[in-house]
Amino acid sequence: MKFLWGSATSAYQIEGNNTGADWWEWDGGRSGRASFFWEKWEEVIELLHELKHQAFRMSIEWSRVFPRPYEADREALEKYRRIIESLMDRGIEPVITLHHFTNPIWFSRMGGWERGENVSHFLRFIESVIPILEGVKFVITINEPNVYAFRSYVEGYWPPQEKSLWKALKVLSGLKEAHIRAYELLKSRTSASVSIAQNMMVFEPAWKWSPVHWIFTIMTDYMFNWYFPDRIKDHMDFLGINYYSRGFVLWPGSIRYRGNERNCMGWEVYPEGLYRVIKRAFRRYGKPIMITENGICTNNDFQRIKFLKEHVEQVMRARQEGIPVIGYLYWSLMDNYEWAEGFGPRFGLLEVDYERGKYRIRRSALFYSEIIETDGLAAL
């Protein structure tokens, strides 16, 4: 299978005006027109083509397709189909995510993922999306169930701002059920390879001579990295990994970042960690691996070039060892709405001028095109 080089995005972060999403209600629509994708998707696809991307990860916004619980919006579905087709027409493989953090407002009001019986609503959404997935080879059911459960139900930083371990476990169990049933549905009706995108981190003890911190580290590593994929391992055709950083564990679930090189949000830049998570995940599951996200927010584009070079090197190292890594998607194609952090952090290969609704190609985007053209060799 040909290795796929490309980039990743999510609907809520780039489309704009997703007024039916719970996140929109929560922050009063602060994302506004976001990165203008819903208006300018044709231009974006031209840019992807120009930059030689072979794959593009995007999500379908559930709340756009189902602004109300039982009635799909045909127009929205048709537009998503046009986007998917025009990617395929240009030889760009769409990687389609079905849940990327946001839910329809009505779904959250009925208890969201805390209630097992609500899973049927997600399946109805998938039923209506299946016809527009024709020709799509990769589907991600759920993005980062671990991050979603942690941020929204343990830390209470994201909506619905709960701080309850018990609720977090219920949410994870709802998401597991949703994934397994979605997997079965998708496998019976499409020819796509199906998985999740799991955020994976490298964890190390904050004090390496302290046995208790080693125990905290093992617990954190298990809960964050493996708890969810272990439960769905018989229902994934490959594993999507989103990798960003390494954390030093102070307390179970509580980490600090260290190191001289950081991204704009303070996360350590630790390229070798990408190799380490690929290797561990392959040992554990024996499935092909796709890097469904890896990227940096920075105001210094040279730092992004260095980041790309050093992380692609680690991907090449894993490939050279014979680990079946099937793709690498840089996060993100364009600057976008970084959730609670808003528009500050810039992850894009394309710079977005939020005032004027314009895109500009960064130098890192051109460097990445060279990586793509040489199948990774330009990074070595």
- Residue 147 interacts with ligand BGC (CB under 6 A): yes or no: yes
Among 15, 177, 221, 293, binds ligand BGC (CB under 6 A): 293
CB of 10 to ligand BGC, least distance (A): 5
277 vs 317 by CB, closer to ligand BGC: 277
- Residue 141 interacts with ligand BGC (CB under 6 A): yes or no: no
Among 37, 38, 153, 331, binds ligand BGC (CB under 6 A): 331
φ/ψ (deg, to 5) at 294: -170, 125
Among 35, 103, 143, 263, binds ligand BGC (CB under 6 A): 143
41 vs 339 by CB, closer to ligand BGC: 339
CB of 75 to ligand BGC, least distance (A): 26
Among 144, 162, 221, 335, binds ligand BGC (CB under 6 A): 144
> CB under 6 A: which stretch of 55-63, 141-149, 187-195, 225-233 binds ligand BGC?
141-149
Q: What is the x/- site pattern for ligand BGC, positions 24-53, by CB under 6 A?
A: ------------------------------
Q: Residues 137, 195: contact at Cβ < 8 Å?
A: no
Among 7, 10, 31, 102, binds ligand BGC (CB under 6 A): 10
Buried-exposed string 12-37: b where 16+ CB fall within 10 A, e elsewhere:
bbbbbbbebbbbbebeeeebebbbbb
> CB under 6 A: which stretch of 21-29, 85-93, 139-147, 187-195 binds ligand BGC?
139-147
Longest dimension (CA), the chain: 60
- Residue 61 interacts with ligand BGC (CB under 6 A): yes or no: no
What is the spatial distance between Cα 69 and Cα 143, in angstroms, rounded to a whole number?
Answer: 22
> CB under 6 A: which stretch of 60-68, 140-148, 160-168, 370-378 binds ligand BGC?
140-148
- Residue 98 interacts with ligand BGC (CB under 6 A): yes or no: no
CA 129 to chain centre: 19
CB of 332 to ligand BGC, least distance (A): 7
Instruction: List the interface residues with ligand BGC, window 103-122 (CB under 6 A).
Output: none
CB of 297 to ligand BGC, least distance (A): 7
Amino acid at 15: E
CB of 148 to ligand BGC, least distance (A): 9
Q: Which residues contact 227 (CB under 8 A, 6 or more apart)?
A: 146, 172
CB of 144 to ligand BGC, least distance (A): 5
38 vs 331 by CB, closer to ligand BGC: 331
- Over its C-alpha atoms, the chain yields an Rg (Å, rounded) of 19
Instruction: List the interface residues with ligand BGC, window 185-244 (CB under 6 A).
Output: 199, 242
CB of 58 to ligand BGC, least distance (A): 12
Size of the residue set binding ligand BGC (CB under 6 A): 10
CB of 143 to ligand BGC, least distance (A): 5
Place of tokens 């890192």: 364
> CB under 6 A: which stretch of 38-46, 121-129, 143-151, 356-364 binds ligand BGC?
143-151
- Other CB atoms closer than 10 Å to residue 83's CB: what's the count? 22
CB of 295 to ligand BGC, least distance (A): 7
CB of 201 to ligand BGC, least distance (A): 10
**Separation in Å, CA 114 to CA 23, 127, 149, 229:** 17, 22, 10, 19
Chain contacts with ligand BGC (rule: CB under 6 A) = 10, 13, 143-144, 147, 199, 242, 293, 331, 338
